[in-house]
Amino acid sequence: MSEHTAKISWAKQGEFSHKGFDRTHVSEFYPDCKVSMAGANNGSLADPEQMFAVSLASCHMQTFLLLAAKKRLVVESYEDTATAVLAKNEEGLFFIESTTLNPVAVFSADTPVSAEALRKMHDKAHHHCFIANSISCPVEIKLES
C-alpha cells in the first residue's frame, strides 16, 4: 500500500456571496509542482473534471507503456485527449457520467504492432489501471483505425 497526498488552497478574492465567488485555487503535489485551477469550463485554468480525465489518461498511458516495455516494443510517442462528461443523476446531483480516452501510440519503425495487438494492449492497460479500477463510470477507449 502507498499513500499519495495532494494539497489544495483557496482564498477569497473579491466578493463572496450566494450570487457567486472566485473559484480560482491551487493544487500542490510537491513544493515545486503546483497547478492553478478554477471551476468548470473557465477557459484558462484546469478544472476538477479535466483533472479527473487527465488522471485516468495518465494512469492508462503509464500502464500501457509498461506493457509495451515488457513486450520489448519501443514506443516513440504517446498522446491522448481525454474527455469526462459531467451530467446530473436521478437525484439532480452532478457526477461523471462517462469518460473517453483517445490514445495514439507511435511505435518504432522496427517494432510494428497490429491493430488487434494494439487493442489487446489497451484493453489490458485499462484492466490494470488503478484509476480505472477506482471509478464507476464507463470508459470508452477510441483507437484510430
Q: Is residue 81 pLDDT above 90, yes or no? A: yes
pLDDT band at 31 (very low <50, low <70, confident <90, very high): confident
4 pLDDT tier (thresholds 50, 70, 90): confident
Indicate if the pLDDT at residue 42 is higher than 90.
Answer: no
Average pLDDT score over residue span 10-17: 91
Locate the domains of the chain by residue range.
Answer: 1-46, 48-141
Q: Is residue 57 exposed (0-12), middle (13-18) or buried (19+ Cβ within 10 Å)? A: buried
- Report whether 139 contacts 99 (CB < 8 A): yes
Tell me, what's the pLDDT at 74?
95
> Which pTM value belongs to this model?
0.90
The average confidence (pLDDT) of the chain is 94
Q: What is the pLDDT of residues 62-80, one digit of tens each?
A: 999 999 999 999 999 999 9
CATH H superfamily, domain 48-141: K homology (KH) domain (3.30.300.20)
pLDDT of residue 145: 64
Q: pLDDT tens digits for 90-136?
A: 999 999 999 999 999 999 999 889 999 999 999 999 999 999 999 99
pLDDT at residue number 40: 84
- DSSP element (H, E) containing 64: helix 48-70
Which of 19-27's residues contact partners 24+ apart within 8 Å by CB, and which partners?
Answer: 27/51
